[in-house]
Amino acid sequence: MEKMAPDPDYGYYYGGVFLVFLILILLLLGSGRRI
């Protein structure tokens, strides 16, 4: 509860994971529609 603002490194890591997850979902939806 001491650190109210998120750390830059943690935010960057979380953002990267979110982007990769979003890309994987788009690929799965695209391949699903194609097949």
d(CA 12, CA 18): 10
| pLDDT computed for residue 4 by the predictor | 63
H helix or E strand, kind and range, residue 21:
helix 8-34
**pTM of the predicted protein model:** 0.52
Question: What would the pLDDT profile of 1-35 be if each residue is shown by its tens digit?
Answer: 566 666 667 777 888 999 999 999 999 998 876 65
